[in-house]
Structure 1
Amino acid sequence: MLSFFPLTAYAEPLARRRAIGTYLISVAMCLGVLLGALNLLLQLLSGGALPDWLTLLRGALLAGVGVAAYSLTRRAQQAAAALLVLLAAVTLLFLLSFSNEISLMLGFGGMLVSISLGALLIGEQTVPYTLIAAALYLFFEPSPPIEGMAETSPALLTLGLPLLLVHGGINYAMARNLRLVARQVTANVEERNVRLAKASADLVQRILGVRLTLDRVLQETVHLVQEHFSDCHEVQLFLVDKDRRNVTLVATTHQANLGNVGSQQVGVGSLSVIGRVTISGESILAREESEVQPYRRSAFLSGTKAQLAIPLRVGG
């Protein structure tokens, strides 16, 4: 699937989700045109008449927009692809409405969807423009007045304007908050990577600067990790024995557990978090509040809210 819908050009999570959304919409547009073409073929085979040229032109333009949006998204131009889809949707709604092929309510609903579509695929900056397009649609839509209202009262002032403002405001706020949250998450990841790099550099400097025994190096390692990640209640380090049957606690930052250093052992492949990591070679995060917990709690980690076990290898 990734060969048909590549996402490698979109590094940020929000950009990847927008690209996925644009891919889905472009495929949906092409499938819609294909189904319409098959339906037209069946009608012609059963003796039906050929639709007018305007309908055929709309179908061709819709297919062209779908293919162009797909191609632009593949070439890391998702914003341009989404803008093309949005313009095509608004233009199509105007054409269908003024040719009396759809009702005022259906067209207005389509405009509301266009507002949400622009906010989702591009961002909050599209909301004012789609709001203006929707307002123009209500002003110039040639539908009869709503029953029970004055004939001179346009739909924009009676029902459309309040709904447009509320809908636009909600979509603007959601799109903006989503962008800010995504930016904060990215910043947190980058900050964490910097902290990890700094911790590694500090550890290397300490080891190179002082002639330390292995036990001292291990103890310095866990303390250095806790210095850089102060929200960790306890940091422990285990080593696997030569027979790969047990892992032994060789360093800890918790004073109460110093007596367990060298004596506390966990079986490789046991149900504890440490035991599972040693056999799988993959990191495991176990939370206390998780209802589905396949890992047995270690006795020396009682009272903790979560355990993160990370495997470390030397020499591959």
Structure 2
Amino acid sequence: MDKKIKRIVLEHSDQIVQMWMDNVSELKDENYTTNIGDELYENTNREFVNVIFKSIQNQGSSEEVERFSEKIINLGWPLSYITDGLQIFRRVTVDYILTNTEDMDTEAIKVAFQSVDDWIEPIIRQLVNEYTGNWENIVSLQRVALQELSAPLIPVMDGITIMPLIGTIDTERAKLIMENLLQGTINHNSEVVLIDITGVPVVDTMVAHHIIQAAEAVHLIGAKCILVGIRPEIAQTIVNLGIDLSDFSTKSSLKKGFTSALEITNRKVVPLEGQAKEEKLRHILSSARGE
């Protein structure tokens, strides 16, 4: 009976495909693919149903399934596109069998349902496994790339480096910050390290603790750490939490921190001769006006 049902499905694949396409097209207007172009959506659906039929014929290779799952991920489509599409295929296939096969008793109907389930379940498992595996691989690569960019140490001048921090700092990222900070301080032979937290939205007890640890570690290897980017709301939070930063130099802006770093390294910003004359003239005019 299973061979007979399989033969019916394959011989009438065009009709089943059209039924499936009509049902799947309704999903486009309801949820996750509303912004997809009609041509791309139809072509992808046809590729999807071809993968299904090749699997039913036992000709679908794992490479084809993997290639299709990669395509869905690259398009940014969710896993529900695959699961919904397969469930619709199950429904329209059973409906077609029941409608176009005469003299089906209860046992024959049961066999028809079981046969379709036996075709669909392996495809669901394979596609879902391939999709999740590819997605986990992409996420892993993105996480590595993000970590490489999340705590850079930038040398701006001999003996002075800056670490700009952006975003939330958790325990895992704090560990990366510490490693990059210490290794970079040694590699760049830094005398002063500026940790800029302008882009850190929240500084709580845990974040402050990690920053203090980083500053102390820098001090232990012979460099001085200046914490810059202390916004008023962060200063208030630090005071309210009772966090003691008195042992560390803090500045409200990177500019002020860099000026302090120059002083620590026995340097300063000196204007060019023309600029110096202009500054002196402005000062004289301001004094004359009583400003």
When normalised by structure 1's length, the TM-score is: 0.29
Higher relative contact order (CA 8 A, sep 6+): 2
When normalised by structure 2's length, the TM-score is: 0.31
